[in-house]
Amino acid sequence: MVTPPGEKVLLGITRQMVVKACEILGIRVVETSIEASELHRVKAAFMTGTSVDVLPISHINEFALQSAEDEMVMQIRRGFLDLCEKDLERMK
């Protein structure tokens, strides 16, 4: 998974949990900037946030993506939700 470096994005709790889920799942996380000229190479993308959790993105400008069907995006989303459930169980 590629994500922008910390100085380019808000380092929120949801993002931290997604990175942790990737580590647990054995998905390598690379922090690097992606230039607009590289978007044609993007296979899938998602955004994270408190209200959306892990939200697959269907388009970036004119580039259509199959993010909602992408196995890695779904695996990351499930891993994130599993971590959230474990945290909730610990709080009980």
Residue 17: its pLDDT value, please?
94
What pTM did the predictor assign?
0.87
Query: Which CATH architecture does the domain made up of 2-91 adopt?
Result: Alpha-Beta Barrel (3.20)
List all residues 6 or more positions away from 36 whose beta carbon is below 8 Å from its beta carbon.
61
Supply the Cα-derived Rg of the chain in whole angstroms: 14
Residue 88 confidence class, pLDDT cut points 50, 70, 90: confident
**How far is the C-alpha of 4 from the C-alpha of 34, rounded, in Å?**
7
Contact 56, 70 (CB under 8 A): yes
Domain residue limits, the chain: 2-91
Identify the sign of the CA torsion 66, 49, 33, 71.
negative
Residue 63: its pLDDT value, please?
86
Which tens digits make up the pLDDT trace of 3-55?
988 887 888 899 999 999 999 999 999 999 988 888 888 889 999 988 899 99
β-pair type (59-60, 63-64): antiparallel
